[in-house]
Structures are given as structure tokens and as C-alpha cells.
Amino acid sequence: MTNTTQPGRAARRSARPGRRALILASAALITVAGTSIPAAAFAADGDLSTNGGAQRNSGDKTADLRASIVDGPAKNVILLIGDGMGDSEITIARNYAYGAAGELPGIDALPLTGQYTTYSLYKDGENKGKPDYVPDSAATGSAWATGTKTYDNAISVDIDGTPQQTLIEIAKANGLKTGNVSTAEIQDATPAVQAAHVAARSCYGPDSATCGADALEAGGLGSISEQILDTRADLTLGGGSASFTQTAKAGQWSGETLFAQAEDRGYQLVGDAAGLASLTAADQSEPVLGTFTPGNFPTRFAATTATVGGADEAPVTCQPNPDRLDTGLSLASLTNKAIDLLDTGDDKGFFLQVEGASIDKQDHAANTCGQIGETIDLDEAVQAALEFARADGNTMVIVTADHAHTSQIVDSTPPATLSTALTTADGTTMKVAYGTAAAGGSQQHTGSQLRIAGYGPGAAQVVGLTDQSDNFFTIANALQLDRNTAALSSGATATVSAGTVEPGASVTVTGFGFNGDRQLDATEAADSAAATALGSKDVITGGAAYELTAPEELGTQTVTLTGRQSGKTVQVQYTVAEAGTPTSTPSPSASAPAGVGTGDGSGSGTSSGGSGASALGATGAIVAPIAALSALLLAAGALLVLQRRRRHA
């Protein structure tokens, strides 16, 4: 595999000198599996039948292993998931592509390995809260995304349906850049667990009948696609464009397609390799939404579906799939592009999740070549991540799976179940069987523990036997994330552009410091009159601005900003006076610790702040004075973004 490092990365390296030396030392463990070594180099050159002919160890590993254990924190974390990639699936792909004595140059190269348990939980009945030994991708993904085990079908809610904060949400609140990449529909379970909270994983879009209470029109958070837009990761890449062509049925963008909504909200929309290649930035002002297929990506290899007695037939070799996407949209290419866009050289770093989705999907279909090709695709993405991590020195890479699956290497053709035979890199025949469903049915997940492997600062946490939910804490701790995201909005404040204005004048209300929130909601009320909703705004770098028109009625107007996730509220006031009355620009009062601009510019006002008990809803109170210059700068930045969008107040 050729060197695919993106231009400009070297200039952005910021590794700490001492740790860089340790990282370089640990890189020796994976040099033999470097990304540029061809497949043939991994086949055993000697006679496997001789004493030591199949030995993988060469010399004493003690020093190399010590060097591979690097203390955290990590600046960046890249989590790579092979959906359905159990030990059997890894072995099948290795045998086929590199031979029994070979190595997958990415997956097998990570120096620190362990195993983890994957069971889910029963949601109700007499077994509520007890282990369900064979999980699905929704429950398993929710475990590593939130640290909370849940029931099959649930997307980042607990067994009682309470939303649980995800790594992408927490990392974003802490100021890190975030990315979510998959070869599946991005509404599929594994990418969805980082961006949504629904009771049923099939709640893809506004048209999904399974959304139930989660639908916007029912007062919920919305479908997975709608929540992806709300979560606003800096970069989201995968399939699933079909769901974004659906029309919102409620809320601020009711009647618009989700693609139109995304464009209104400042997203950069891309749908092909050329569009992806042309991107030079992905951030909160202009996040990237790349959907390259209506559904899942086509596989690398054409299908070779197993049949009853199939392993007795002539062994096959896997053939390229003519429908495979442009190489610029391979999982390795998406991973490299994501890293390049997220690695901006700032102090905060990034969190990136990458999924090879169709190992699982082709295992369900008893398609051996399909699952092999998808495992190889993931391995190439792992190589790309390791290449970056070795050069960067401050990046932790974790490679694992969500659940085990059906496929097994067997000695002889099973008489009653599906099987197929392949010619491997060794030139011999490998028989693979599928025994958990009949022909035409969906092969089942299995409940065995899985390999987890790591590299870089903090990766020693994967060693030994852990649980899938430990992955959440390993990553959150390595990145030193403050999980009390409501507290990150506790110092939020707001300003108004003028304390006294004439009827019909423009007024700008700016909130900032809402770092623990992704959206603000606002209302406006005249004296004791009922409040009027002003709609929601996406929080960008902690702030958002509302452009208002002063009413014709004279008197005091109170604008209330509320952080949707933290519950933090702040208020500002302005006065509408007759034409000819001198206008005033409010300035903070040094003697008023809770002051915000009011109609008379005195700096007095009210606000409230969340308790922090739940990141998805709580209320409370506090307000702090703010610097006028900071508010004006934030307002100016918000206005530049708003110029690109249609107004939805």
C-alpha cells in the first residue's frame, strides 16, 4: 500500500518531545507491518514444517513492549470498528489475503491487545437489567459511545430510555474537533450511536414509522438523521443520502428536506469523490456532510454466497466488484481525508470514529468474499490511522469490533449448513461454514468476547479482559474530557447591541460561553406579555446570535436564551422608545456581578443556569458580566455564517 499521508500534516505536528521518543520506540513493534509492505512479504519464506518454521516471535519482546506503553493523555483518538469482526472473521481474511503465517498489516500490527465482553441487557420483564448474551450493533455501539450498557435496538439511551451523552457530544463540548465515518448508511447503528438518542435503531428519518415518541412531531429529539444535523460533528462521511431527502414534519424546518435544512444550517454537502477531494476545511462554521450512496457502500469483492454442500465444490478466488466506488471513497481514503481535515494543529485535538460496516452485513448474507474484502478495507484504514499516529506522537489508535458473528473455518464440509471453499494465499483450500440460519436467511450474531488492540498514549488500558463499556472511559480519560458538559455552559452570558432603540430598528442579541450546548432556543416578551418563540440557533464555538426587529409597541423587551442541552438560561433587555429618543449601547457594570445589558444600559439583568444533573435537560440560574468587545467579535462571526443561510426565526 502506498504512502497516503495528506499534504501539510508534517508542518502541523505538535508532539511533546519526551513522548515522541517513546512513541518512536514503540513504532518498532509495527514496522514489520508497515503500510508500504506488499502482501507477498507476509507469507512465510521458510518451511513451516521445520522446528520454529511457523514462529512469529523474533527475539525478546520485553523492551519493545515496555516502549509501547506510553502514558496519557492523548491529544487525538482514532477508534476503528469492524462491525461483526470477531476472531474468526479476522482469521478468514488473513488466511485468504496473506496466508496462515502472514499478518494483516494494520489490524495485526497494534502492539497492545486484549479481549472484551460485549453482552447487552434486557430492558424489561423479570430479567430487566440482566445480561443478554448475544447483542446487536445498537446496544454494543451505545456501550462504547456512552459507557452505559443498554438493550438491543437502543441508540445511546439506557434501559429506561434516558439519553446518555456520547463521546462525540462530550468531545465537541470540550472543544475538540469530531468526525464520524462509515461505509454504511450514517443512520446505521454504529455511526448513529455517536450522534443520536432513539429507542429504535430503525428511526432513520422523518418518514420512519418506528420513531414513535422520538419523532419531532411527538415532542422527541427527532429521527437519527435529524439528530445528526443537531449533533453537528465537524465531519460526517458515509452512505445514507436517501434519508436526507425526506421532509421534516415538525419543528423549525418543517416542510423542508433534511438536505435543504443542512444547507440552511451551514453544512458543506458533498456526494462524490471529487467533492470530497476539494474540501479544505471542516469545522463548526462549515461542517461537512458527505453522503456518497443512497444506502450502504458496495463491497470490495463480488458476492460468493455459500450454499449447502458448497465447500465440496471447486474453491473460488474473490473477484473485484464492478460496482465498487471510486478509490477516493475507499475506507482508507475517507480515513485519510478525515484526519487531514480534523488535524488542524490547534491545542485541542480531535476524536474520530471509523467503521468498516459490511463485514457484518456480508456475514449475515453468508458471503465469504464480501466479508473478506470489507475486512481488508478496514485493515487499510487502520494502516492509514497508524501511519498518522506514528508520525504525530500524540494519537491513540484503538481497533476493535462490536460483536462476534457466525462464520467459521471448518475441516470438512458440514452436511446440512451453508459453506463455501476458497483458495488462499498459501495456495490451499479454506472451507468456511455458516450454521445459524438456513439459505436465504440472516446469519446470527454470536456472543463471544472480541479482540481489542491499541497503540499510543493511554492504549495500555485495552490490555487484559475488559468490557466494551470500558472503551468509553479509556477514550474519555485519554482525552481528559470533562464529562459534566452542563457545567461547561455555567458561565454563559449574553449581550444586546443597543439598550434603547426605535420601533422597527434592528437588534442583535448574542449569547456566548454556551460551550456545553449544541443549540440555543430563544424567546422574546414585552413586559408581562406572553413570550414569543424566536426559534433555535446552532451553537458555534460556544455562541450564537439572533437578529431581531424591534416591535412597534413601546416598552421593555426581554429576550431569554436557553441552552437546549444544559438548560442554562440568560436574559437581556432592551427598550423600544419613540423616534428621536437617544439610543444607548449597553455596557457591563463592574459593580454588578450578574449584570447584562438592559434598556437603560445599566448592566443589570437576570439569568439562570443548569444544575448539571443531566446534559440533555436541566434548568437553573446565573448571569455574569461580559466584555463588550468579545460580544461584538462573536456577533460579527455569527453574522458571517448567517449570511449563508436562509432565516428561520
Reply yes or no on whether 137 is catalytic.
Answer: yes
Determine the number of helices (DSSP H) and then strands (DSSP E) in the chain. Answer: 15, 25
Residue type, 245: T
Residue type, 441: G
Q: Give the span between the Cα atoms of 59 and 287, in whole angstroms.
A: 48
The four Cα atoms 178, 481, 5, 277 give a dihedral, to 10 degrees, of: 10
Q: Report residue 33 CA to chain centroid gap.
A: 27
Q: CB burial class (10 A; 0-12, 13-18, 19+) of residue 302?
A: middle
Q: In what order do the strands lie in the sheet with 177-185?
A: 268-270, 288-291, 235-239, 177-185, 350-356, 76-82, 395-401, 450-455, 112-117, 464-467
Residue 241 corresponds to which cell in the numbers above?
443520502
Q: Give the span between the Cα atoms of 558 and 574, in whole angstroms.
A: 7
Quickly count: other Cβ atoms within 10 Å of residue 625's Cβ: 20
Q: Give the span between the Cα atoms of 335 and 498, in whole angstroms.
A: 47
Please report the sign of the dihedral spanned by the C-alpha atoms of residue 81, residue 87, residue 88, residue 90.
positive
Q: Out of 137, 225, 536, 566, which one is annotated catalytic?
A: 137
Quickly count: other Cβ atoms within 10 Å of residue 608's Cβ: 16
- The Cα-based distances of 448 to 149, 401, 418, 442, 469 in angstroms read 17, 11, 21, 18, 15
Bridge partners (DSSP) listed for residue 117? 467
Q: Which residues contact 269 (CB under 8 A, 6 or more apart)?
A: 259, 262, 263, 289, 290, 291
User: Three-state SS string across 44-81, please?
Assistant: CCCCCCCCCCCCCCCCCCHHHHHHHCECCCCCEEEEEE
With H, G, I as helix, E, B as strand and everything else as coil, classify residue 305: strand
The phi, psi pair for 14, rounded to 5°, reads -140, 35
- The Cα-based distances of 244 to 227, 330, 332 in angstroms read 12, 22, 25
- The Cα-based distances of 439 to 370, 416, 502 in angstroms read 16, 10, 75
The phi, psi pair for 543, rounded to 5°, reads -140, 170
- The Cα-based distances of 346 to 18, 153, 167 in angstroms read 19, 38, 19
**Which ranges of 300-420 would DSSP assign to H, the alpha helix?**
331-342, 358-364, 368-392
Quickly count: other Cβ atoms within 10 Å of residue 414's Cβ: 18
Q: What is the largest CA-CA distance in the chain?
A: 100
Quickly count: other Cβ atoms within 10 Å of residue 285's Cβ: 17
By the 8 A CB rule, do 292 and 238 touch?
yes
According to DSSP, the β-strands at 408-410 and 429-434 are: antiparallel
Q: Report residue 57 CA to chain centroid gap.
A: 36
- Residues identified as active-site: 137
